[in-house]
A = this chain, B = another copy of it.
Amino acid sequence: MDKYVSIRLDRSLEKPLYVQVCESIIELIEKNILLPEEKLPPIRKLASLLDVNTVTIVNAYKLLEKQGYVVSRVGSGTYINPSILLNHQNLSKALSSQGVSLQKVSENPGVFNDSSPTPSNSALFDDISNVRSAIRYDFAGAAISPEFFPVEEFKEVLNEVLDRDRGYAFGYQESMGYAPLRKSISEFMASEYNITFSPEEIQVVSGAQQGIDIIAKAFLNYQDTVYVEGPTYTGAIDAFKSRGAKIVEIPLEPDGINIDELRSKLKVKPPRLFYTMPNFHNPTGYSYSTQKKKELIALSRECDFLIVEDDHMNDLYFAEKPSPLKAMDDGGNVLYIKSFSKLFMPGLRLAFIASRKDFAVKIADAKYYSDISSSGLTQRAMDLFFRKSLWPEHARRMRKIFREKWQAMNGAIEEYIPPGINYKSPGGGLFFWLELPQGYYSMNLYNEALKYGLLLMPGDFFYPDRRPSNGFRLSFAEIAPENIRDGIKLLAETIEKLFQEYKLNPLRGKNFRPLL
């Protein structure tokens, strides 16, 4: 217990005590005071030492486990994760980026070895390099590899804009966005998806996350209710919660939201907003049936709520071209967010919101006090990219590249993944969602797989309450095509191993919670 006496809690902070305890223990781990495989003290003992309720320690240990710092062993106790060196760096990153991207891909360590004046960025990149070399199969990263970015084409349009507009390329822009870009977008959406909205109905934003945040600002009052799918992209939940919203989760099924559950919740209290990814959903890859899309829109009119449609990936279809909800939105209840970052160049931060004109005015106000406007240079370059028809060309190329990976995933999963695992092959996007049998816990699979250098995203991170989940997400965004087959085979073996191990400690049953 001596190792824990240095922990100091500050009861005057807003930060809950269990989070403080959790962070203090992480600090001890990071300073190598606590070592891999070391057992954490019994809950009562630590509670007594720190003069807190036992529940505080229980919650702190739970949080540590969720973050991958500790593992619980049934009937034995809680231990520092033996694979912690790999583990905490990755998972804490994954946590913070919630599957949008693992940050390890973002900083390009290689760059600092060349002759450019950029300095070597020491600690951070050393860590990342360690992790990278240890991970052989990355099914967690959700960002498209930089090698696919149309850098040369974009450089050309950038320079063309600079030569054309000179200083004006760097002046303030209208809050709604650069007018010619809004026109280009409206033409693109009409020709590509048969949806017509005028430039005045379009708000340019800095990525889909900002789209969500700005909609939350424009439409949510304190304590309003927001419905979300379970599982969902929790970055959206953070934005809603930051507005003081109450989150209600509606279960998602392979063909869309559970309509009965939705109806029964609506009877209690309709939400202000319903947040959905109706096509190639993150994390499940599921798409709504046409029937469910229609029912959702009808319900939004009947019960007077707005639908936030997050179209994060519609351009990456491998079979049928998907139809956005917005295309069926005759009443104007859909606020449509389309990201160009995800399939294109995430660092550009570019997306738009399309909505009814009266909503667009509210949205522009919220954009104004959020950050005035998005970068004018980026908007001008993107506009030119559209005008030169480079976007559809890029999307076509991406579809070709990722269709091959998707086929490899389909084949390998069919061949190797053992019976008892549920999944549905997605029609597009970058994700497969697999479900362990009821009672199994994907965080255990995550921990086990990590030992062999395989990364996946446990389902926990996609639920509003971060509860233990039997589902997990496999992304084929970052893994090399030639590694897919071996990776899935290794995953299958790990699952079999998990089945064997947990046969001895049956955890099945409705009330299963991981033990501490």
Contact = CB atoms under 8 A, between A and B. Distances in A.
Interface of A: 96-97, 100-101, 103, 105-108, 111, 114, 116-119, 121, 124, 143, 145-149, 151, 154-155, 158-160, 162, 164-175, 178-180, 183, 205-207, 209-210, 213, 217, 222, 235, 238-239, 242, 244, 345-349, 365-366, 368-378, 383-384, 387-388
B118 A369 contact: no
Assembly stoichiometry (copies): 2
B348 A108 contact: no
A348 B368 contact: no
8 contacts: A106-B171, A108-B165, A118-B180, A171-B347, A209-B370, A209-B371, A235-B372, A378-B378
Contacts of A235: 368-369, 372
A96 B368 contact: yes
B345 A168 contact: no
Contacts of A171: 101, 105-106, 108, 143, 146, 149, 345-347
A147 B167 contact: yes
Given A96-B368, A179-B107, A209-B371, A154 B170 contact: yes
A170 B171 CA distance: 22
Contacts of A370: 209-210, 213, 239, 370
A383 B118 contact: yes
Contacts of A172: 97, 100-101, 103, 105-106, 143, 346-347
A162 B347 CA distance: 13
A167 B180 contact: no
Given A96-B175, A117-B384, A349-B371, A167 B143 contact: no
A347 B106 contact: no
A179 B124 contact: yes
Chain B CB count within 10 A is highest, among A114, A238, A369, A374, for: A369
A183 B118 CA distance: 10
Contacts of A239: 369-370
Contacts of A101: 171-172
Nearest to A109: B168
Given A369-B235, A372-B100, A151 B167 contact: yes
B346 A170 contact: yes
B151 A170 contact: yes
A164 B114 contact: yes
Given A119-B180, A368-B235, A108 B168 contact: yes
A106 B388 CA distance: 24
Chain B CB count within 10 A is highest, among A96, A210, A349, for: A349
Contacts of A167: 145-149, 151, 345
Contacts of A154: 170
Nearest to A205: B371
A371 B179 contact: no
Nearest to A118: B180
A513 to B, nearest CB: 27
Contact of A164 (B116, B148, B349): B116
Given A209-B368, A209-B370, A238-B369, 15 more contacts: A105-B172, A108-B165, A108-B171, A111-B168, A118-B180, A119-B183, A146-B166, A148-B167, A149-B170, A159-B159, A170-B345, A207-B371, A209-B372, A235-B368, A349-B372
Contact of A213 (B116, B170, B349, B369): B369
